[in-house]
Structure 1
């Protein structure tokens, strides 16, 4: 009992220190404004073709996954508490059910979206980025060729929801481990990748050929491992070490190694390949570390459900909770080198989260494999985002 009291006291001390850090300012709440004029105008431009769909009815499987997720949430529980809008899980659930109800008629009657839904525009400038499921050359055993570990979730990683102790810490979690009866931060990337902090514990679920591949796998959150025998194995997000995410692209720009307008996944990879001696130091600038689990079907998002290419979106759940129905519009880069820029106006579903996805930002899931890497890696565009809520639940 005394040991537990001591642990809790240490955790509170760490929490207070973390809350006091001026370098991590709180993210302001998103502001929602209902806009019928915007809705009627945007509905005219909505098209399933921009999402590689032949009909809006193809949204049904993805909507059913969101419906199943919200169905197990407490109906009266608050899912969204923003400036100008508060919603319960029950209201989100019923909004999804309403869209499923009208979906068979939506191709011929797009105006049903304005007749049945209130459109709440995010007034902040929203940044839209893209992500995909990468392929990683890997092996189930360590060899001279495959020597970089892909770690599963360590059994000594602990989480504490600080909001259970005080309202001002709502939404904050402390991730730690216990060493000699005291709570200590979990190792950072440099300690794990370059100092062997987790080696010898049997946590490896696979071994990769390239450390940079592992780094980008962690940024994406899931991937397909290609084994030498030709088999493929899905890996999905299992947890993280609790340290803040630092963008390597921003580090390269800040150090004068790359121009901001040229930063992309491809350009970062090219820089690291051309400067292998800098790889350890550069990767270590991002202390955040992601752990994985092996799966069978996927890719799977934070809902625990399969993601749908060009439909599923990763959002900050504190502002756009999982299950949110989104109408989005943006000018996007070409899908492949040499092609023209594109414009998309479509319907997205908040079905995933990400350590780097905070505040007014949405991350669009673009699919799997190298054929979508160029497109996903170059999306960094302003977007117009509306949250759709059934008018019936607002009565």
Structure 2
């Protein structure tokens, strides 16, 4: 274990870990499936299911094909096949979601996928549908393009860092069963443990300089900030080639929304807030960039790859179908129906959308029923991700055969 390699005594570390739980001096990450029972899933009846299916067939978009989901569902099945069948993936209210429930639902969906263009009734015949309560806030993320270099170059002064070796993590469940599923991220400083370096220390005080952690360099520090929010991107290199830059880890400090900071300080109005508005404001006020970016202590580290982007399941994401969720509410590998309204470029309106989506990612800011839709890459994806902030509804299908078998046992 990491703590056995430290000069600290086990007793002293336990005291520090206990204090950190209640004083929040270091980051805690919880993997526990238990959440508040105040809300949950409830079964919906046939007329409502039929109405939702009608929406699927009229609002999925002109370019939608059911077979677009095939590879993503296959990735779900591969991921779920490694899980314990009777293990609890999530417990939301009184509703338990098991890994086997998720796997069987994906398998049944894959089997009927080629028939769904002409047989929509299969969606009700094969699945029992549950609504997620309360409604969810839907936001978006995308894969930004950044001009970059893989070697030091004065035209690209801002580094992207890999995970530092001195960023340590401890499973608190090793100390007490009450802390099962919680982890502590920290670094060792002399004879004590402290939170890892924050954004101000890394970007403006050079805490990681000279350690060989740079994986690439980019032109604009604001681009680094936005890339960290999105989690992955594409680097356009000077010779025209492309590299994927992917999430590898984080410093464990709390994520603070820059948009909320700008609103609270009266620098931008709440109405019409978007990533584009934030970028424009920072461009027009360069003297505030250091102070404003430093209000978000959370920091993301990266790795390079020829492929991507990948979600938290280590599987490729599908544009407009993969979502990031709080896995305590909607676990990784789950299928769902999403109904919402999407912003339209150059128009003060939103258009309705209903689609089958796949929970294949998660993010530090995604809590409770909130869902983050992966919008893809390019200008259209950037617009949608930057402006998407809509109330939405999630419906969760469960294999009818699976439920019948469980009732018969």
Please confirm whether the aligned pair reaches a TM-score higher than 0.5, indicating the same fold. yes
Q: 1:140 deviation in Å? A: 1.1
Of 373, 378, 381, which aligns to 1:369?
378
Q: 1:329 deviation in Å? A: 0.5
Q: How far does the alpha carbon of each residue in 1:225-279 deviate from its partner, in whole angstroms, 9 at most, with x for none?
A: 1111111110111111111111100000000111111210100000000000000
Confirm whether residue 348 of structure 1 aligns to residue 353 of structure 2.
no
Q: How far does the alpha carbon of each residue in 1:321-362 deviate from its partner, in whole angstroms, 9 at most, with x for none?
A: 10111101011101x335963211110000011111111111
Aligned position for 1:133 = 143
Q: Per the alignment, do residues 209 and 319 of structure 1 end up closer, same or farther by CA in structure 2, a change over 3 Å counting?
A: same
Contact 2:231–2:246 (Cα < 8 Å) also in 1? yes
Q: How far does the alpha carbon of each residue in 1:37-74 deviate from its partner, in whole angstroms, 9 at most, with x for none?
A: 43222111103873564421221111001111111112
Q: 1:118 deviation in Å? A: 1.7
5+ residue gaps, structure 2, are: 28-33
Query: Matches of 1:47 and 1:306 in 2, distance apart?
Result: 25
Confirm whether residue 379 of structure 1 aligns to residue 388 of structure 2.
yes
TM-score by length of 2: 0.90
Q: Per the alignment, do residues 170 and 332 of structure 1 end up closer, same or farther by CA in structure 2, a change over 3 Å counting?
A: farther
Query: Matches of 2:169 and 2:272 in 1, distance apart?
Result: 38
Q: 1:130 deviation in Å? A: 1.0
Aligned position for 1:146 = 156
Contact 1:28–1:359 (Cα < 8 Å) also in 2? no
Query: Matches of 2:208 and 2:134 in 1, distance apart?
Result: 41
Query: Matches of 2:401 and 2:248 in 1, distance apart?
Result: 37
Aligned position for 2:30 = none
Q: How far does the alpha carbon of each residue in 1:187-209 deviate from its partner, in whole angstroms, 9 at most, with x for none?
A: 11111111111111111100110
Q: Per the alignment, do residues 119 and 167 of structure 1 end up closer, same or farther by CA in structure 2, a change over 3 Å counting?
A: farther
TM-score by length of 1: 0.93
5+ residue gaps, structure 1, are: none
Name the SS for the 2:298 alignment partner. coil
Aligned position for 1:3 = 8
Query: Matches of 2:289 and 2:120 in 1, distance apart?
Result: 50
Contact 1:35–1:120 (Cα < 8 Å) also in 2? yes
Query: Matches of 1:163 and 1:53 in 2, distance apart?
Result: 48
Q: Per the alignment, do residues 84 and 301 of structure 1 end up closer, same or farther by CA in structure 2, a change over 3 Å counting?
A: same
Q: Per the alignment, do residues 263 and 54 of structure 1 end up closer, same or farther by CA in structure 2, a change over 3 Å counting?
A: closer
Name the SS for the 2:56 alignment partner. coil
Q: 1:164 deviation in Å? A: 4.8
